[in-house]
Amino acid sequence: MSGLLDALLFPGERHPRGPDPGPFSYPQAYKAYLRREFRSKCVYCRVPDGIKGYEGFGVDHYLPASRFPGLALAWPNLFYACNVCNTWKSDSVSTAGRFLPNPCDHRMADHLQYRGAEVETHTPHGEWLAELLHLEERKGLREFILSALVGFVKARIELLGDLTAMEDRLETAQSADERSSLEAAIQEATEELERVERQIERLTGEPL
């Protein structure tokens, strides 16, 4: 189960950014590519867009376009972020004393990490990010996501067990009646499994 929940943690390694899909003439054109690049999750709070919806996300300029117009369309300056993080981050920029961690230039987990719904900061930079984006105050949404995810992951494990047991019984079924009722039950459990797996993918942003 931990593997699936890990999708919502800050990564321990830097994200190797893929090639520039552009050039494009306006930032919004990068959004779908950024979504794919950053696995459908906000790079700053790790909330998946399956929760907030694609329209709840946007293109973040790490160095704000208002202060660095030359970087408004620079692929390495663009990140996938939820609108809440993007709004709180606003036009903040790193100074000589502290920087805002981002997943391409920094190992996010060195600076901050989640423990369940709680955010823990390890450096002044992680502390600044958590404060600026109000991560602690937004833990309610994270609690909701985690508890829903745990429920779906448990349901998936149970369904996979049920399916294996029913498939074993089908192999040794003696009568046509028994076979057809097992086949119907397998069909139903398979459909339920697909539904549960879609929910897990929605909550983690990761394909199963």
| Residues at the contact surface with Zn ion, assessed by CB under 5 A | 42, 44-45, 82, 85
Please, which residue, 42 or 153, has the CB nearer to Zn ion?
42
Q: How far is the CB of 198 from Zn ion (least distance, A)?
A: 23
Q: How far is the CB of 157 from Zn ion (least distance, A)?
A: 29
Please, which residue, 45 or 149, has the CB nearer to Zn ion?
45
Q: How far is the CB of 146 from Zn ion (least distance, A)?
A: 16
In 3D space, the residue among 152, 124, 126 whose CA is nearest the CA of residue 50 turns out to be 152
User: Residue 170 corresponds to which amino acid?
Assistant: L
Using only the alpha carbons of the chain, give its radius of gyration.
21
What does the block give as tokens for 174? 């003696």
Please, which residue, 85 or 149, has the CB nearer to Zn ion?
85
In 3D space, the residue among 109, 126, 190 whose CA is nearest the CA of residue 156 turns out to be 190
Give whole-number Cα distances, 183 to 108, 165, 196, in Å.
48, 12, 20
Q: How far is the CB of 155 from Zn ion (least distance, A)?
A: 27
Please, which residue, 19 or 53, has the CB nearer to Zn ion?
53
